Structure 1
Amino acid sequence: MKSWTGSAGICINEQMEVLMVKSFDSKQWAIPSGGIEEGETPQECCVREVKEETGYDVKIIEQLMVKETVIQGIQVKTYYFRVDKIGLSSGINDPDNLIAEAEWKSISDLKILKHAYPEDLKLLLEQLDNSQNQIDTNTR
C-alpha cells in the first residue's frame, strides 16, 4: 500500500480564531498541512507548510497527536502541531498552487463550515477551549 506522511499546524490568534485554508477546487476548509519532504522533520514540515499556505511564520508550541488513516487506498500519517504565529502574513506562496484562500475562522464559523477533514473539528474546538482557559487563567 502506498503511504504518505505529513504535518498540520493549528494556529489560534488573539481573537480565538483558527487559521484555515481552502483549495481552488473546493468549498471545504482545513488547517494548513502538507507532505514531509526528504530530510525534513515533522516540525520543519509544519512550519514550512503553514508559511507556504498562509504566509505566516510560526513556531511550534507542542505536538498534539498523530492521525493515522487510510484515504483512497493510501496509508496516511499526519503529525498535528499547535503553532503560534510570528508577525504578519506575507501572503500565500504555495508552490503547489492549491491554496485559494487563507482566513481566520471563529468558533461559530468552524461549526458551520464545510470541513475537508470533519474529524478534525473536535480537536480544533478542544484547542480553542484550551486557549480560552489559558487566557482566563492569565487575566484572573
Structure 2
Amino acid sequence: MQGYAGVIARYDGLVAMVREQYHAWDAPYWNLPSGGVEDGETPAAGAVRELREESGLHVSVDELELVWTTQTQAAGRVTSRSWNYVVDVADPAFAIDDPDGSVMAARWFTPEDAVRRLGRMPYPPIAVPAIHYLAHGTRGRAWRFTLSGDEWSW
C-alpha cells in the first residue's frame, strides 16, 4: 500500500497550486503540491518535502495542521492512504526543484479558482476532498474511495 501527503499552502488568502503532468492522464492538471511518502518518512515530513520540491515553499512539520485523510480501495483491499495538511507560508516565492520533473509551473490562486481547477482533475480521491475543504473548510474528515471497474464511489 502506498502512502501520500499533500498540502494546502496559503498566503494572503491565496492557495498554492502546481501544474503537473501525470503519466496516467491525458494532459497536465493543476493540483495541490503532493506526492508519495518515502520509506522512513512520516506523512507530515513527506508533505513538507513535497511542498518544497514541487513549489519551493518552505515550512516546518510543526506548522502543518492535518485537515483530512483519504483511503482508497479496490478489489476489497486498501490500495493507498493519504494525509492532507494546511499551512500558512511566510514567503510566497516559488522555486520548483521537482526531482520527478513532472511539475511544469506553480502559481497562487484564489480558493474559488483553485476549486475550479481541481474540478477538472480526473481522479476523485485527490480532487473531491480538496474541493470540499476549500469550499467548506471542514476539517478532520476521513474520506474513503472505492474503485469498482472504472468508477469511483465515496
TM-score normalised by the chain length of structure 2:
0.71
The separation in 2 between residues aligned to 1:95 and 1:62, in whole angstroms, is 26
Structure 1: any 5+ residue segments left out of the alignment? 131-140
For the 8 Å contact 2:3–2:80, the answer to whether it is kept is: yes
The 5 A counterparts of 1:1-140 are: 3-14=1-12, 16-24=13-21, 26-59=27-60, 60-70=63-73, 75-89=79-93, 91-113=95-117, 114-115=120-121, 117-119=126-128, 120-127=130-137
The separation in 2 between residues aligned to 1:88 and 1:112, in whole angstroms, is 22
- Structure 1 residues 101-127: Cα deviation after superposition (integer angstroms, max 9, x where no partner): 111111331243223533021112234
Mean Cα deviation higher: 39-48 or 112-121: 112-121
Structure 2: any 5+ residue segments left out of the alignment? 140-154
Which aligned runs of 4 or more in structure 1 are off by greater than 6 angstroms? Answer: none
Q: For residue 95 of structure 2, what is the amino acid of its counterpart?
A: G
Let me know the Cα RMSD of the aligned residues. 2.5
CA spacing shift, 1:111–1:64, aligned 2, 3 Å: closer
Identity rate, percent:
26
CA spacing shift, 1:94–1:74, aligned 2, 3 Å: farther
TM-score normalised by the chain length of structure 1:
0.77
The separation in 1 between residues aligned to 2:48 and 2:21, in whole angstroms, is 22
Q: How many pairs does the alignment contain?
A: 126
TM-superposed CA distance for 1:13, in Å, is 1.0
